[in-house]
């Protein structure tokens, strides 16, 4: 199992951006994942993504279909689907998407006191994880890179997904969709599978009894779902997990 930080996050590289945010597009991050797996000797692999990592996982599956044997999306629908359905409930709950898209202001707000901004649960995270996280968000370069990910989401990534739809491109590998039943995905959209059925030809999934941070809050049920799906639908040569 290979679990890299997505481009810009944690200890991963943080290349200079450009006015279009192209270095932080999901296409660029997906290229990183494909190159990494090639370097490690895995030509075919499964990809698992949560939250921001799920958008990268989707782009890996769409841009490198011959290499992806299985896809798992956790707490996610495509970015373009979120935006197409954006209403007052979405804007209230997901306001940070639009704030992060603004130039300079979010950097100033977050870097003034990143611990207070993100309000981490130190006990749930565990001390080692907390210290790793605190070092990352205490670095203004990391904060800038994470914001660029969101800025690319509302521009390039949305456009890339819409181009996929217009061209009739779909995920062709077996796809598992999981979501946290105490988060807001069902509240906003009903059954997420109904949305994913127009993006993937072979999709299944279910909710998990958890809040948004499912890997920390319910690792048992999440692991069981991944093992069952990957064990029956995919015989791993290599497995990449991308968690956002």
Q: Known catalytic residue: 212? A: yes
Task: Please name the helix (run of DSSP H) or strand (run of DSSP E) that holds residue 117, with its range, or none.
Answer: helix 114-118
Between CA 144 and CA 134 the distance in angstroms is: 15
136-141 LR contacts (CB < 8 Å, sep 24+): 136/9, 136/10, 136/11, 137/110, 138/114, 140/107, 140/111, 141/14
C-alpha pair distances (Å), 19 with each of 24, 103, 148, 152, 155: 11, 11, 10, 10, 11
- 213: how many CB neighbours lie within 10 A of its CB? 16
The CA distance from 234 to 87, in Å, is 38
Q: Active site includes 51?
A: yes
Identify the three-state secondary structure at position 218. coil
Q: Rounded CA gap, 201 and 101, in Å?
A: 32
Give the integer Cα–Cα distance in Å for 11 and 21.
Answer: 20
- Closest to 4 measured CA to CA, from 215, 243, 238: 243
Residue among 5, 51, 184, 221 flagged as catalytic: 51
Question: 42, 64, 182, 212: which one is catalytic?
Answer: 212
Asked if 73 contacts 54 with a C-beta cutoff of 8 angstroms, the reply is yes
* Active-site annotation, residues: 51, 212
């Amino acid at each position: 199992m290979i679990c890299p930080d997505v481009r810009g996050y944690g200890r991963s590289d943080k290349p200079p951006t450009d006015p279009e945010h192209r270095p932080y597009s999901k296409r660029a991050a997906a290229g990183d994942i494909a190159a990494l797996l090639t370097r490690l000797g895995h030509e075919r692999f499964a990809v698992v993504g949560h939250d921001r990592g799920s958008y990268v996982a989707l782009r890996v599956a769409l841009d490198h279909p011959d290499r992806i044997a299985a896809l798992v999306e956790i707490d996610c629908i495509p970015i373009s689907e979120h935006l197409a359905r954006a209403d007052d409930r979405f804007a209230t709950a997901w306001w940070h998407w639009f704030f992060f898209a603004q130039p300079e202001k979010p950097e100033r707000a977050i870097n003034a006191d990143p611990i207070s901004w993100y309000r981490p649960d130190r006990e749930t995270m565990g001390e080692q994880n907390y210290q790793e996280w605190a070092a990352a968000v205490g670095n203004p370069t990391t904060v800038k890179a994470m914001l660029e990910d969101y800025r690319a989401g509302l521009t390039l990534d949305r456009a890339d997904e819409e181009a996929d739809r217009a061209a009739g491109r779909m995920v062709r590998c077996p796809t598992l969709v999981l979501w946290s039943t105490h988060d807001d995905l069902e509240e906003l959209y009903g059954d997420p599978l109904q949305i994913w059925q127009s993006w993937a030809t072979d999709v299944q999934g279910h909710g998990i009894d958890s809040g948004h941070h499912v890997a920390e809050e319910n690792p048992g049920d999440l692991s069981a779902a991944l093992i069952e799906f990957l064990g029956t639908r995919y015989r791993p040569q290599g497995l990449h997990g991308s968690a956002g």
